[in-house]
Structure 1
Amino acid sequence: MAVLRQQPPSRRRLHPASPLCILFVLLSLLLSILSITSTIKSSTKIITTKPYNQPRPLNVDEIGNPYHNFGLFETDYEQMLNNLKIFVYPDIYGNSSSPFSNIFVPIPNPTNPKLGNYYSEHAFKSSLMRSSFVTMDPDRADLFFMPFSVNAMRNDRRLHSESSISDFVARYAGKIGSELGFWNKSGGADHFFVCCHSVGREAASKNWELRNNAIQVTCSSSYFQRFFLPHKDVALPQIWPRPEETLLNPPVAREKLVFFSGRVQNSRVRQDLLAMWENDGDMYINTLNQSLPYLEGFKRSRFCLHVKGYEVNTARVCDAIHYGCVPVIISNYYELPFANVLDWSKFAVIIRQEDISLLKKILLSISDNNYLEMYNNLNIIRKHFRWNEKPQRYDSFHMIIYQLWLRRNSHY
């Protein structure tokens, strides 16, 4: 009997040019490409991956630099350098017949450490007289500087009281208005004066035009202060004459989370701060009787507190910037210097006075990467909070002049 063998099913051969064949080839190529791409990505990831606790490098384009718009600022700044002119009333050159010439002339040594809180007032005057902004022709002037010194008046027995100082300033404004006439063209809106003493807030109180029209460049820049108008007046940074710090203490050498040292008698906010955090081991918060020297605290801490005292301003903000310690500002209504140019949120922490109980929680919530970005931004903006014997580009003097430049046409 013959055995019948089962024949295998016949295989259909694909014609090379058939659509099904083309589709099969394309799918094969696509799968190959995807496989190769995946391998490359995997290899790259292995090469570039960093340990989880290593901070990523600062990417200014990603986080935003500490300026609102540096390009716009820089362009306008160059226009200022080339065009701004300031007339200084001649009292600044001294008048041997005047019994009050000491109130107007620059002091011989504006970098004297004894000037302390009032250094910025004198440094501005000295810097201005060394600059190219001064013109002897009042018809070319965009602005007029009244060179009286509130600090000098405060130290003069004849003019010590706030009432006497405001009387003197009111008489002076009336004198220049009647004798020279430049005041009358704008009602004083193109005139400015500079002060960093707390009594300066009342200096313009007895002359209506001086109080409401003239530009006040002041350290006591508080929204809550009745004679300070942010759109008209200028916040002056309160800077002590500190030695230059060219090399800042790196973050790894800053073992304390928080540092604050200062008197508490004249500030309820500071009293609350001390009551809540004095005994916290991560913070160094104490009165002036401290074991850690004041300047060392700024060098060895990550965050340094500026807490409202008698005024909204203290030199601690600029001390923190000077020594590379991220400022923590606890001072309601404080108009921060150069806030229309600098984005303070990129290099400082601002906390409401009512949130002191949350201080540690807020600071610990800042990641290492964000802290390093703030620290790097401090390095960028430090030059704006420094006075130089000879004014330099973008230093405190030029930043104040830029603020005046922005207000030069406010009377038109």
Structure 2
Amino acid sequence: MNTNSSLDTDLVREKRNYRVFCDMGGEKFLCSSASSSFKLFLFVVPLILISGFVGSRTNLLFTSSYNYYPWISSSVSISPALSPSSTDNGSSNFDWNSTLVSITSPPPSPTSPPPPLSVEEMTGAPPPVENFSNNLSNVAPSPVISDSSRKWSEIELIEAGLARVRSSVMEAKNSSYKNVQDPDFIPKGPMYWNANAFLKSYQEMEKQFKIFVYEEGQIPIFHNGPCGSIYAMEGNFINNMEVSKFRTRNPEKAQAFFLPFSVASIVHFVYEPNSHNWAPLKRLVKDYGHFIATKHPHWNRSRGADHFMLACHDWGPELSKSYPGMFENSIRALCNANTSEGFKPIKDVSIPEINLPGGKIDRLLGGPSPSKRPILVFFAGGVHGPVRPILLEHWENKDPDVQVYRYLKKGISYHDMLRKSRFCICASGYEVASPRMVEALYTGCVPVIIKDNYVAPFSDVLNWNAFSVEIPVKDIPNLKNILMGISQRRYIRLQTRGVQVRRHFIVNVPPKRFDVFHMTLHSIWLRRLNVRVQDM
């Protein structure tokens, strides 16, 4: 029997070598082959090497909670004797829900990483609506600048503005839709944890959020990335930020700072295939971090807490450990949002992995109505990682209602199968990230998420339980019974809501309001609201 490789095999091949165009100011840049890795490495590294480590670090105010909107704004300082001690499961002995923490102990030495944020690890499930509402209602207002005789610093003015945003979002939480309006979009329904809070914070982001993009670094590793592969989020976000209205050229006006390197490009150009040697990659990120911290004052002012990086490559989380503070403090927007590998939802951002063949979304969107989907559930993918072997062992060629394949027969379209199916399985491979969740939403198929320790994209705003089905790995043998137990009425609701939230995962060129670019920015904006930075 003739077979072709599954979509998964093609994606693994893309991870080894990709050739993709990215639009850079009207010109298209083509990534070269990996054979020039070390030549490029020898060219780029001298541009960013520096001597010595970063300077002194200032005190930093953090807020943290069990929630994504932990805007507790009391000015209570915590003495070293009362500092929270983290336990093995990431929880804290201190009540982080009732006070804003001021780090009053001396800053660490420049060669050691800063202290952890000490927030309780989340399991990947979105916070319950009750916690969201209760936490907002308990927020105390931040001090408002009122002394006209004093000359306030830029960072104090920025923090005062962010305090007003937190207050306005809390007020919007309890307001009616007629008081929180938008000509393009009125988010409502159970797909959103709190529709009014989301819309208000989004509108405030559009009015106020300013991001400084560090200009250091040379293409293709910096200021560019893949736009037509499963790492398309990297290239699209980086290129959009270069020309975005959210970008400011004045770092003193910025609330956040973007480190515009592409992990996928670093791996493509610097990594020697099959060498298993990560040292050159980590050295590159480390040297870049040192260079930024030495040339600019902003990293040291916040110890990186108002800085962010973005990576869709599987190695992004590991490379973020290369420079002190990036892993511990910085906002990391990652496709591979795995809490067992250090992803912290309170400060990190989960973004979707989106495969864009040819860099375009053409012919990927849309599908038939629920009544025209004859297949109960579908999956096709290579056998790798801990979850998929279990899935194929129990369901490959076992039941006509459960269409599970490792390879599709020749002539069968993967996307056509998605459109014929009511449910589409999104199972972990080597890593938790996969384009299947977005592919399911694109085609109107209800995602069935089978992943451990995964934080779903934009789950700070979106309630994935309202438009997807989550099945624990241990329940894979009972997969069909679980899905058959979902009533037709509930299935139609899941499918309809998935179509409604699809706009948040669409890649537009140029970006449009509420699309995946703006949702990524909004999640970063929320994390920035959770940090208070003091002047040096």
Query: The TM-score by the shorter chain falls in which range?
Result: 0.7 to 0.9
2:392 aligned residue (263, 267, 274):
274
2:402 aligned residue (283, 296, 299):
283
Contact residue 235 and residue 335 of structure 1 kept, 8 A: yes
Q: Alpha-carbon deviations, 1:66-115, whole Å to 9, x = none?
A: 111111111111011000000000136x4xxxxxx3211325xx543xxx
Equivalence map 1:50-129=2 (5 Å)? 64-91=189-216, 94=218, 101-107=219-225, 111-112=227-228, 116-129=229-242
AA at the equivalent of 1:404 = I
Find the aligned partners of 2:308 and 2:324 in 1 and give their Cα distance.
14
2:462 aligned residue (315, 318, 342):
342
Equivalence map 1:232-381=2 (5 Å)? 232-241=347-356, 242-245=361-364, 247-264=366-383, 266-278=384-396, 279-290=398-409, 292-381=412-501
Q: Alpha-carbon deviations, 1:168-199, whole Å to 9, x = none?
A: 11111111101112111101111111111111
Which structure has the greater CA radius of gyration?
A: 1
AA at the equivalent of 2:514 = Y
Shift, 1:159, TM fit: 7.0
Unaligned runs of 5+ in 2: 1-187
Find the aligned partners of 2:232 and 2:458 in 1 and give their Cα distance.
18
- Going from structure 1 to structure 2, the CA distance change for 1:159 and 1:222 (only over 3 Å counts) comes to same
Shift, 1:320, TM fit: 0.5
Shift, 1:129, TM fit: 2.1
Give the aligned partner of residue 180 of structure 1.
296
AA at the equivalent of 1:104 = F
Higher alpha-carbon deviation: 157-166 or 197-206: 157-166
The TM-score, its normalising length taken from structure 1, stands at: 0.78
Find the aligned partners of 2:363 and 2:203 in 1 and give their Cα distance.
27
Give the aligned partner of residue 315 of structure 2.
199
Find the aligned partners of 1:391 and 1:314 in 2 and give their Cα distance.
22
Give the aligned partner of residue 223 of structure 1.
339
Shift, 1:251, TM fit: 1.1
- Going from structure 1 to structure 2, the CA distance change for 1:341 and 1:157 (only over 3 Å counts) comes to closer
Higher alpha-carbon deviation: 204-213 or 305-314: 204-213
Q: Indicate the SS of the match to 1:156.
A: helix
Q: Indicate the SS of the match to 1:204.
A: helix
AA at the equivalent of 1:330 = I
Contact residue 131 and residue 391 of structure 1 kept, 8 A: no
AA at the equivalent of 1:257 = L
Contact residue 304 and residue 326 of structure 2 kept, 8 A: yes
Shift, 1:245, TM fit: 4.9
Name the structure, 1 or 2, with higher relative contact order (CA <8 Å, separation 6+): 2
Q: Indicate the SS of the match to 1:313.
A: coil
Give the aligned partner of residue 72 of structure 2.
none
Q: Indicate the SS of the match to 1:358.
A: helix
Find the aligned partners of 1:180 and 1:128 in 2 and give their Cα distance.
20
Contact residue 235 and residue 337 of structure 1 kept, 8 A: yes
Q: Alpha-carbon deviations, 1:285-331, whole Å to 9, x = none?
A: 00124353211111110000011110011110111011110000000
Find the aligned partners of 2:526 and 2:216 in 1 and give their Cα distance.
26
Find the aligned partners of 1:332 and 1:245 in 2 and give their Cα distance.
27
Q: Indicate the SS of the match to 1:314.
A: coil
Contact residue 224 and residue 333 of structure 1 kept, 8 A: yes
Find the aligned partners of 1:172 and 1:295 in 2 and give their Cα distance.
41
- Going from structure 1 to structure 2, the CA distance change for 1:341 and 1:158 (only over 3 Å counts) comes to closer
Shift, 1:411, TM fit: 4.3
1:400 aligned residue (493, 512, 520):
520
Q: Alpha-carbon deviations, 1:189-228, whole Å to 9, x = none?
A: 11111111111121122322112111111100011113x2
Q: Indicate the SS of the match to 2:455.
A: coil
Find the aligned partners of 1:274 and 1:326 in 2 and give their Cα distance.
20
Find the aligned partners of 1:84 and 1:133 in 2 and give their Cα distance.
6
Give the aligned partner of residue 154 of structure 1.
267
- Going from structure 1 to structure 2, the CA distance change for 1:171 and 1:331 (only over 3 Å counts) comes to same
Contact residue 256 and residue 284 of structure 1 kept, 8 A: yes
Find the aligned partners of 2:305 and 2:435 in 1 and give their Cα distance.
29
Q: Alpha-carbon deviations, 1:360-394, whole Å to 9, x = none?
A: 11100111111111111011100111111111111
Q: Indicate the SS of the match to 1:402.
A: helix
Find the aligned partners of 1:393 and 1:186 in 2 and give their Cα distance.
30
Q: Indicate the SS of the match to 1:217.
A: strand
Give the aligned partner of residue 49 of structure 1.
none
Find the aligned partners of 2:222 and 2:270 in 1 and give their Cα distance.
16
Unaligned runs of 5+ in 1: 1-62, 95-100
Shift, 1:267, TM fit: 2.2
Q: Indicate the SS of the match to 2:305.
A: coil
AA at the equivalent of 1:87 = F
The TM-score, its normalising length taken from structure 2, stands at: 0.61
AA at the equivalent of 1:153 = I
AA at the equivalent of 1:269 = V
Find the aligned partners of 1:111 and 1:211 in 2 and give their Cα distance.
25
Find the aligned partners of 1:198 and 1:411 in 2 and give their Cα distance.
30
Give the aligned partner of residue 40 of structure 1.
none
AA at the equivalent of 1:82 = K
Find the aligned partners of 1:221 and 1:293 in 2 and give their Cα distance.
29
Q: Alpha-carbon deviations, 1:226-254, whole Å to 9, x = none?
A: 3x221111101001123255542111221
Superposed CA RMSD in Å reads 1.7
Contact residue 130 and residue 390 of structure 1 kept, 8 A: no
Contact residue 270 and residue 281 of structure 2 kept, 8 A: no
Shift, 1:120, TM fit: 0.8
Q: Alpha-carbon deviations, 1:248-282, whole Å to 9, x = none?
A: 21112211001000001x22321111111112110
